[in-house]
Amino acid sequence: MMDFRLSIVPFIIIVVANFFLSWIYYSPMVPWFKTWIIGVGGDVNKTQMTEEDKKSMPRLMGGAVVATLLLSYGLQIMVHSVKATDFASGALVGLVLWLGFVITHSLNTQFEGRKPIVLVINNVLYLVTYTIFGGIVAVMG
């Protein structure tokens, strides 16, 4: 039976952690930043946002917030539904969700002309977040 209850503390922890982890992961301070920027067709020498970039930021950030809320709640539904109560079993649920849904959908980005390295860089983050966050949900209920 599916368990749709929402545990607010892990929900908020995951939302905040995912936002900041993603912000750091895709920032210029990480060694793979230039590789990722080139892979998505960006300019590594660009230091200022254009007016067009600034106008699109609310839509992009809004989408990121919605995606993070859905990730946090979706993980809770699955972890609670399989009755995972320890970190390892919750992490396993996250890993299975990553393998079954995230990787399969990410592979379709190859049709957009993205370089394979973008798939790798993006999915390392998703692997880490899904497994760790699944474990957090299991432990915190």
Q: What is the pLDDT of residue 113?
A: 85
pLDDT tens sequence across 89-130? 999 999 999 999 999 999 998 898 889 999 999 999 999 999
Q: What angle do CA 42, 33, 74 make, to 5 degrees?
A: 95
Whole-number Å distance between alpha carbons of 6 and 133: 14
Q: What is the pLDDT of residues 23-53, one digit of tens each?
A: 999 999 999 999 999 999 999 888 888 999 8
Give the domain ranges of the chain: 8-40+53-140
